[in-house]
């Protein structure tokens, strides 16, 4: 029960923020502090609610240095779980608790669970096997073709696909570059963009052989954001500190003084412009809230 406390604390905060800020305010979301490895012990997962149908799950850095963020988004008939964690724990219990709570608040209504991924790196799908025998559950495959087929992309990666959760339709953007199967998910209801490993407060790794794809994805993302209001971006990790431009060492076991999870929507244009002007041999490009981080080619991924 202890690990559920932050949810209860956060709901009034988040709802208050929605009421006070109105439709167009890009003020960052009001999350309580995240578990960050600084305490002697911390729960394996921490959940915070953005609203009664939208949840963030953080995996403890003590279970895996990646300390990823997962997202659970409910519609009337279906819920989307975006990512299953980096391993080093059982992730399904945290998800099942949230689903059970949601069902209890909706008269025991059955809800189908779609398990999809921001992309196919191992720190985002390590928990998939826990969901394969779960009733009323679809686990989306890891290859770009699997993702394109599941979401019914007609022209991956150029078109935008949709996932209808029942009264809540998500937009799914194909954003290859960091990894070929990378997607972002936009929720028009909350105006949140779940941005995976392409754009978050940390090192945005781009294999050199995929830099052109990354640049094209950044352009498409910026075009999308011109016609879809974005309140904030919620990515899959935090690797920046509260000091602008300063990241943690690789595989840091503790994240004292962590940057906030949310990025302001201005980060979209900042990233687009940064990669647009990167030359034929892109270099590490440090910004206040993220670092464009070219890495050697990954021919098979």
Output 123 or 130, the one with its CB closest to Zn ion: 123
Closest approach of Zn ion to the CB of residue 251, in Å: 12
Output 121 or 215, the one with its CB closest to Zn ion: 121
197 near Zn ion, rule: CB under 5 A: yes
C-beta separation of 66 from 74 below 8 A:
no
In the block, tokens 């953080």 appear at 58
Choices 1-9, 41-49, 113-121, 215-223; region in contact with Zn ion by CB under 5 A: 113-121
Long-range contacts of 162-165 (CB under 8 A, 24+ apart): 163/78, 163/80, 163/114, 164/75, 164/78, 165/73, 165/74, 165/75, 165/76, 165/77, 165/78, 165/79, 165/80
Instruction: State how far the alpha carbon of 115 is from the alpha carbons of 51, 92, 147, in Å.
Output: 20, 11, 11
Choices 96-104, 121-129, 155-163, 268-276; region in contact with Zn ion by CB under 5 A: 121-129
Total number of residues binding Zn ion (CB under 5 A)? 3
Choices 26-34, 169-177, 197-205, 267-275; region in contact with Zn ion by CB under 5 A: 197-205
> How far is residue 291's CA from residue 271's CA, in Å, rounded to a whole number?
9
Output 256 or 295, the one with its CB closest to Zn ion: 295
User: Residue 157, Cβ neighbours under 10 Å: how many?
Assistant: 22
Q: Which residues lie closer than 8 Å to 76 by C-beta, 6 or more apart? A: 165, 166, 167, 168
Output 119 or 231, the one with its CB closest to Zn ion: 119
Choices 116-124, 155-163, 240-248, 270-278; region in contact with Zn ion by CB under 5 A: 116-124
Closest approach of Zn ion to the CB of residue 123, in Å: 4
121 near Zn ion, rule: CB under 5 A: yes
C-alpha neighbours within 13 Å on the C-beta side of residue 216? 14
Contacting Zn ion within 265-294 (CB under 5 A) = none
123 near Zn ion, rule: CB under 5 A: yes
Q: Which residues bind Zn ion (CB under 5 A)?
A: 121, 123, 197
């Amino acid at each position: 029960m202890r690990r559920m406390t932050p949810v209860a604390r956060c709901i009034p905060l988040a709802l208050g923020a929605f009421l006070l800020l109105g439709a167009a305010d890009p003020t960052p979301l009001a999350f309580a502090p995240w578990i960050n490895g600084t305490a002697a012990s911390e729960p394996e997962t921490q959940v915070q609610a953005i609203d009664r149908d939208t949840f963030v799950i953080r995996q403890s850095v003590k279970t895996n240095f990646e300390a990823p963020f997962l997202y659970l988004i409910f519609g009337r008939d279906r819920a989307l779980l975006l990512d299953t964690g980096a391993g080093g724990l059982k992730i399904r219990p945290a998800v099942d608790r949230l689903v059970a709570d949601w069902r209890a608040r909706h008269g025991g209504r059955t809800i189908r669970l779609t398990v999809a991924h921001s992309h196919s790196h191992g720190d985002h799908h390590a928990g998939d096997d826990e969901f394969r025998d779960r009733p009323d559950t679809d686990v989306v495959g890891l290859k770009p073709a699997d993702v394109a087929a599941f979401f019914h992309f007609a022209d991956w990666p150029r078109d935008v696909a949709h996932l209808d959760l029942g009264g809540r339709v998500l937009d799914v953007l194909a954003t290859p570059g960091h990894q070929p199967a990378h997607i972002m998910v936009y929720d028009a209801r909350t105006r949140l963009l779940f941005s995976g490993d392409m754009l978050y407060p940390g090192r945005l790794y781009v294999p050199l052989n995929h830099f052109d794809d990354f640049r094209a994805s950044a352009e498409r993302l910026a075009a999308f954001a011109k016609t879809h209001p974005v309140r904030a971006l919620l990515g899959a990790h935090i690797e920046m500190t509260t000091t602008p431009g300063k990241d943690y060492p690789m595989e840091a076991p503790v994240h004292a003084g962590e940057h906030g999870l949310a990025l302001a929507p201005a980060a979209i244009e900042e990233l687009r412009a940064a990669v647009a002007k990167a030359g034929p041999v892109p270099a590490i490009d440090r910004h206040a809230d993220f670092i464009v981080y070219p890495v050697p080619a990954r021919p098979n991924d």
